[in-house]
Chain A
Amino acid sequence: MSELPKFVVDHLRNAQPIGEHPDADLLTAFAEQSLGERERTSVLLHLSTCPDCREMTTLVMGREPAEVLVHAATAAHSSSVAPSERIELAATAGKAYREVTPRSWFRWPFSSPALRWVAAAACVVVVSAAVLMNKRPAQKQTPGLTSDAITLSDERTPTTSTTPQSPAADRRLREELQEQRESSTFAKRRSASPLSQPEEQKDREIMGYVRPEPRVASRSAVANGAAQAISPPPTTDADAFRVKVEDSAAQHSLAKGTAVAQEKSVAATVPPANGKDQTGVLVADKLASKEKAAAAPAPTFANRNSSAALASGAKRDDRAESAIGSTSETVEVSGGPLALESAQVEPANRVASPQWNVTANGDVLRSLDAGKNWKTITIDSKAQFVAVATTGGSIWAGGKAGVLYHSTDVGEHWTHITPRDGSNSLTADISGIEFTDVNHGTVHAGASERWTTTDGGKSWKRE
């Protein structure tokens, strides 16, 4: 605020009160806006020249800060206070007044006790949702690691044709898988090499249909009965891959790999000794090696040579050069891009699946390294996101005004979804998203709206 020239301040201060002091009736009427223009003007004119009446008006009409003023003014005028302190106190009173203003906008949402409770409840929901989302995959992963080696076949193997495409088949296979899980759990491994075009295509298919649940993904392998064992690439290759991760061009395919790894509930993590970025792909390799290495410390297992054993008969050996970095070593990759290998993996070595977070500002963050580094994912620059849910490689992000996005590639590409049920469409603020699998999910919006889908967001039902 600009300062008034001193003379003007002095003139204002020393002005003689214009007119008589308004009586309590007039002041009340002024406060209640029931004065005519003529009287209002005369009261205002008097107020502008009479500090006492201004004080009175503020006391009657003012809000909270009156406390500060009265307190400080009382102290300031107490004759027991030294003149210099008086000034200090008067200044404090003025300052306190001004300080209240910028805070008032922040205070209003919490002014009512009800809103305060709502805010507290919202915090609890957000925190517990975050905890659950992080916990759930972990729980699934832990039992999934046994000594049985299971290989997922890719589309080129005969089993791919059995990949269920209908919900019914899906269910059946899931049941099978459940049974399978009783006796054996698994860890899966994905080919680490950058995917060639056809492989990407296949990958997408897997993501689309097999991906949803770790169990679902594995069921093709179960049906196939195939087991692939692959030895991990050397660490140097791992480093090369790491370099690739940073390469934006490679990001896409790697991210996919990560997604697949995640959806299959592969539990593996870059060994802490490496302490660097990991990719789902790489880590999957390491995981496989880990199984073989058994008791071997994490850093050493990485030096094994790759070997692939395809039990499905459709064995394919692809040689993929790790394209980047000084490491020119050739990596032998299992022919079937999906190789499952059981492994006893310590929790610390689990692959951290991409983690998601939403900032208070409504930005969506993704971490590919177990939360060490977070990257803002731009989905819709205008939207303000509130909730993110992940199921396998399927990410749902929802925010204010019914904004809902879906990604099937770990957040690289997003599709805007507008849930509709008859003539209704979701426009309320989304407050929470829950997906139990790729197809089944619920979006909470507004005060009590629940939008459910059973087909991965193609159709919605409002409750």
Chain B
Amino acid sequence: MAEATQTAGAFEEGRILPETQLAAEFYDRTPAALFGIPSTEFGQILYAIARKYLPEGSTQVETRQFCSALRLDDLVLARGCAAGNEKAWEVFLTRFREKLYEMALRIAREPSAAQDLSDSLYGDLYGLTSSDSIRPSKLISYTGRGSLEGWLRTVLAQEFINRYRKNKRLVSLDETDPDEDCSHRHVPELVAPENNPPVAPDARLTKATDETLAALPADERFILAAYHLDGRTLAQIADILHVHESTISRKVEKITKSLRKQIVARLVQNGMSHRQAEEALEVDVRDIQLDLRRRLQDSGTRTFSKRKARDE
């Protein structure tokens, strides 16, 4: 235990398994040696990963569980590649050469873009070592929390989205947007443009809504956002949450209804009469039907009352 405390250093509790012990317990389970990763380095890698993800004060048992759940084979393969081990690269390319392109194609949906995307990822994976600059392989950031294949897909998706954004930025600088209202909307968002909130007619409604949303469980809030904001299908949401589509369907219906009730309840708690609370929401519902599209087209800075006035 004393040794552990010493090695753990920054870890105040110091109960996380030390590097040497991690190496002793897990090194032989992996083909790390094959990929040229010595035991000590392996221990350091595991330790760093455990420190990154485990909350402070995690016990040795928890550390063990955590490390056992890691994709250690993938991890040593990635780290072997990052260190430039030939054997590791051979295995990596055998496993992923074709897959990478397929995954890129699935994301980019277009052969030439997919080729670009996967080529650029290869560049990142190989890293860059020249006289003036050293850019480590991206594989060094892989920690084995998920499969290497899944990680590569995620990285491709990130890369795809970043490129897309970069392009957008470049384009927006070149072209002057004739619509003044839109020009100050800085980075274009993928899904929902960042709109300033319209002034709520009643601060109590804002508060009640905030509180109600904050009280929602994470998955329910995710369902709400994915369904109502992003317009995802039930099937997509079901895929992400790993539940059946019908469950999502029921939940969307249930949450949407109960949210309304809860907000009304909070409004009543905060001193509104039941009728007032209902009316506040009723106005709102009608408003959303007629006005959402127009409001999205607006800069988003107009106030509710201004919009009303213009409508009239």
Please encode chain A, from 87 to 105, with 1 for each CB lying within 8 Å of some chain B CB and 0 for all others: 1001101110110110010
- Partner-binding segment picked from A59-67, A241-249, A403-411: A59-67
A125 within 8 Å of B by Cβ? no
Which has the most chain B C-beta neighbours within 10 Å: A51, A78, A91? Answer: A51
A80, B213: Cβ atoms closer than 8 Å: no
Q: From B221, B233, B240, B253, give the contact of A101 (CB < 8 A).
A: B233
Q: Mark A2-27, 1 if CB is under 8 A from B, else 0.
A: 11111111111111000000011111
Nearest B residue to A52 by beta-carbon distance?
A: B190
Residue-wise, chain A 22-58 has the 8 Å CB interface mask toward B (1 for contact) of 0111111111111100110110110111011011111
**CB proximity of B185 to chain A, nearest CB, Å:** 9
- Contact status A5-B284, CB under 8 Å: yes
- Which B residues are in CB contact (< 8 Å) with A41? 218
Say yes or no: A14 contacts B197, CB within 8 Å.
yes
Query: A87 to B188, alpha carbons, bound, how many Å?
Result: 13
| Distance, CA A56 to CA B156, complexed state (A) | 10
**Contact in complex: A91, B161 (CB < 8 Å):** no
Decide: A79 and B240 in contact? CB cutoff 8 A: no
Q: Is the CB of B209 within 8 A of A77?
A: no
Q: CB of A325 within 8 A of chain B?
A: no
Q: Which of B9-17, B86-94, B287-295 contacts A (4 or more CB under 8 A)?
A: B287-295
A28 and B242 within 8 A (CB): no
Chain B residues lying within 8 Å of A67, measured Cβ to Cβ, are 109
**Contacting pair B155 A83 (CB below 8 A):** no
Q: How far is the CA of A395 from the CA of B200 in the complex (A)?
A: 73
B67 within 8 A of A: no
* Complex-state Cα separation, A425 to B260, whole angstroms: 57
CB distance from A301 to the nearest CB of B (A): 66
User: Which residues of B have CB within 8 Å of A417?
Assistant: none
- Given A23-B141, A48-B221, A73-B191, residue A28 in contact with residue B147 (CB < 8 A): yes
Which residues of B, 169-217, contact A by the 8 Å Cβ criterion?
Answer: 171-172, 175, 177, 179, 181-182, 188-192, 194-198, 200, 205-206, 209-210, 212-213
CB-based nearest B residue for A32: B146
Q: Judge if B225 is at the interface, Cβ distance under 8 Å.
A: yes
Contacting residues of chain B (74-112) with chain A, CB-CB under 8 angstroms: 106-107, 109
The interface residues of chain A lying within 8 Å CB-to-CB of B144 are 25
Contact (Cβ within 8 A) B206 A100 = no
Residue of A nearest to B103 (CB): A60
Q: Would you call A71 an interface residue if the criterion is a C-beta within 8 Å of the partner chain's C-beta atoms?
A: yes
Which residues of A are found within 8 Å of B55, using beta-carbon distances?
38
Question: How far does the alpha carbon of A56 sit from the alpha carbon of B263 in the complex, in Å?
Answer: 31
Q: How far is the CA of A51 from the CA of B188 in the complex (A)?
A: 12
Q: Is the interface of B mostly helix, strand, loop or mixed?
A: helix
Residue numbers in B under 8 Å from A273 (CB-CB): none
Given A34-B146, A55-B230, verify A7-B224 contact (CB < 8 Å): no
Contacts of B284 in A (CB 8 A): 5-7
In the assembled complex, the CB of B246 is this many whole angstroms from the nearest CB of chain A, namely 11
Q: How far is the CA of A49 from the CA of B55 in the complex (A)?
A: 23
| In contact, B191 and A31 (Cβ under 8 angstroms) | no
Would A51 and B230 count as touching, CB distance under 8 A?
A: yes
Indicate if A84 sits at the interface (CB-CB under 8 A).
yes
Report B208 CB to chain A, min CB distance, Å.
9
Q: Which residue of A lies closest to B236 (CB)?
A: A62
- A378, CB-defined interface residue at 8 Å: no
Query: B138-176 toward A: CB 8 Å interface, digit per residue (1/0)?
Result: 000111111100110111011011001000100110010
**A8: contacting residue among B155, B213, B291, CB under 8 A:** B213
Q: Please, which residues of chain B bring their CB within 8 A of the CB of A34? A: 69, 145-146
Instruction: Say how far B126's CB is from chain A's closest CB, in angstroms.
Output: 17
Q: Known contacts A33-B242, A34-B146, A56-B161; is A11 also within 8 Å of B213 by CB?
A: yes
Is B259 engaged at the interface, CB distance under 8 Å to the other chain? Answer: yes
Expressed in whole angstroms, the minimum distance between the Cβ of A89 and any Cβ of chain B is 12
CB atoms of B179 and A83 under 8 A apart: yes
Q: List chain B residues, Cβ under 8 A from A25.
A: 141-146, 151
Residues in B whose Cβ lies below 8 Å from that of A14: 194-197
Complex: A409 Cα to B270 Cα, angstroms = 77
In the bound complex, residues from chain B placing their C-beta under 8 Å from that of A74 are: 164
A59–B160 touching, CB < 8 Å: yes
B145 touches which of A12, A29, A56 (Cβ 8 Å): A29
The chain B residue sitting closest to A28, CB to CB, is B146
**Among A24, A33, A56, A84, residue most surrounded by chain B Cβ atoms (within 10 Å):** A24
| Residue in A6, A7, A52, A63 whose beta carbon sits within 8 Å of that of B235 in the complex | A63
Whether the Cβ atoms of B228 and A9 lie closer than 8 Å is yes
Contact (A100, B235) CB under 8 Å given A7-B200, A24-B151, A33-B242? yes
In the assembled complex, B37 has its CB within 8 A of some CB on chain A: no
In the bound complex, do residue A83 and residue B150 qualify as a contact, i.e. CB atoms below 8 Å apart?
no
Cβ of B256 under 8 Å from chain A = yes
CB-CB contacts below 8 Å: A358-412 with B: none
Contact B171 A59 (CB under 8 A): no
Q: Say whether B168 contacts A79, CB under 8 Å.
A: yes
Q: Are A87 and B263 in contact (CB under 8 A)?
A: no
Q: Please determine whether A24 and B253 come into contact, CB atoms closer than 8 angstroms.
A: no
Does B297 lie within 8 Å of A83, measured CB to CB?
Answer: yes
Nearest residue (CB) in B for A85 is B297
- Please state if A60 and B150 are interface contacts (CB–CB under 8 Å): yes
Q: Contact between A4 and B171 (Cβ–Cβ < 8 Å)?
A: no
A366 to B194, CA, bound (A): 64
Known: A12-B224, A28-B146. A70 touches B240 (CB 8 A): no
CA distance A31 to B69 in the complex (A): 15
Task: Give the chain B neighbours of A33 by CB distance below 8 A.
Answer: 242
Tell whether, in the assembled complex, residue B213 and residue A78 are in contact, meaning their CB atoms are under 8 Å apart: no
Residue from A5, A32, A71, A82 in contact with B285 in the complex, judged by beta carbons closer than 8 Å: A5
Residue pair A1, B252 in contact (C-beta under 8 Å): yes
Roughly how many angstroms separate A51 CA and B231 CA in the complex, as a whole number? Answer: 12
Note all chain B residues with C-beta closer than 8 A to A51: 189-192, 225, 229-230
Q: Can you name 11 extra interface pairs (CB under 8 A) apart from A3-B289, A15-B213, A51-B230?
A: A2-B257, A6-B291, A7-B209, A12-B221, A25-B145, A58-B226, A58-B230, A62-B232, A87-B296, A90-B296, A104-B235
Closest 10 CB pairs of A and B: A94-B231, A28-B146, A29-B145, A44-B218, A29-B146, A6-B288, A48-B221, A48-B222, A28-B150, A25-B145
